Amino acid sequence: MKKLFYFLVPLIVTLIVAFFVNKALQQFDNPGYVLIGIGHWSLETSLVIFSVSLIIIFYVFYLLFRSLGYLLRLPGRLKNRGKNIRFNRSQEALIAGLVDSAEGNWEKAENILIKHASHSGAPLIHYLTAARAAQSRGAFDKRDEYLKQANDQAPDSTVVIGLTQAELNLSGNQFEQALETLTRLHSIDPTHASVLKLLHQTYEHVGDWQGIRNLIPSLHSNKILMETEVKLLEIEAFRQLLKQSAEKGTPETLSLLWSEIPDYIKTMADIAAIYFAAMIGWGMGALVENELANTLSVIWDETLVVLFGSIQSNDDLKQLETAEKWSYIHQENAVLLGVLGKLAIKCSDTFKAESYLAKSIAAEPTVQAYQLLGDLLFAQDDKDNAISCYKNGLELASSEVVSQIGILS
């Protein structure tokens, strides 16, 4: 209607102008004429009629060519109109699919999303949402099929598709598959935040602490975790690696790992205890004796003191003298006094041994202290006092067992 208006208005205006021009020319004796000759044919008419005829012919041809152009473009317009209708339907289907997925109607969501994916302006969203819906209802085969279709539809979106696949594998406890996908994505983009975060989570699930250790610099440099979180993760990674090496490794591999650990982690008592306990258990106590003594001079920990006392030293007297230096600071420490008594027995110094063990029992009675003192007194043929020590030790052990049963119940 608008186009017809734009056509008729200029035509009417032109005719009105021609009418007034003709009226103005009538005032003259000769208002003008036009003569056209073609061979034996000739055409003679007034100037106004000729002008009006030209205008009418122009508009006729204009309409003719406009109509012809419209007819030529009609198939394309019909095709585009069909595309627009399908596009609008796909957009509506996407919204409906998202709503159904959120409401838990997963199979319905899949069907509507996949049906309209090929006509959508964002087919990737259709396939990825359908994959999540399939995962939610446990249809892992369908999920993988939709992810493959997404990759075929958008080959340039490898990272996005891979991240979705890894997330779904993780939520389905398919850790090996998730790790395989994330390793491939990490090789494509080593600094991608989401890839690094998911890779960290996957390593934790599968217990790959060496992988986490290798990943820590990237987590720090790319600000994936806060600095405090990175340090805590680094501590936990080395703790677990030490445990694994202590259980399955050799003294050489454990020593190499220990040398790579930052000093601020080595000074943590629970971590140091893992290393020293393993080395002592392997009969390598003499090699780590000095290092353990130096560690105790920096951090005081009773577990490390006990470990120091269990070392089979090459120089028992020096070992005792080293421990005695700590007694000047920790005079009433029952654990240290018990260790001193044990070391004094190794040095055959029965007087010191009896004194240290008695002080240890006085500070805090322990089954081990009673046992050591009883053995020492028995060896000195003081059987009555030895039996008394054994009896006290048994009573203490029994009370500890009873208290443990009470806690468990």
- Domain extents for the chain? 315-409
Helix (H) or strand (E) holding 193: helix 193-206
Q: What is the pLDDT of residue 90?
A: 59
**Tens digit of pLDDT for each residue in 112-132?**
777 666 666 667 777 787 888
- How much is the pTM? 0.70
**Which CATH superfamily hosts domain 315-409?**
Tetratricopeptide repeat domain (1.25.40.10)
Q: Is 104 left (phi over 0), alpha (psi -120 to 50) or beta?
A: left
38 backbone dihedrals φ, ψ, rounded to 5°: -135, 105
Q: What is the pLDDT of residue 89?
A: 63
The share of the chain scoring above pLDDT 90, in percent, equals 45
Can you list the pairs that 201-207 forms with residues at least 24 positions away whose Cβ atoms lie under 8 Å? Answer: 201/170, 202/166, 202/170, 202/175, 202/178, 203/179, 205/170, 205/175, 206/175, 206/176, 206/179, 207/240
**Tens digit of pLDDT for each residue in 26-62?**
666 566 666 777 777 877 776 667 777 777 777 777 7
**Structure confidence at residue 403 as a pLDDT band (50, 70, 90):** low
**Structure confidence at residue 409 as a pLDDT band (50, 70, 90):** very low
pLDDT at 286 over 70: yes
pLDDT at 78 over 70: no
The angle that helices 316-327 and 285-298 make with each other, rounded to 10 degrees, is: 10
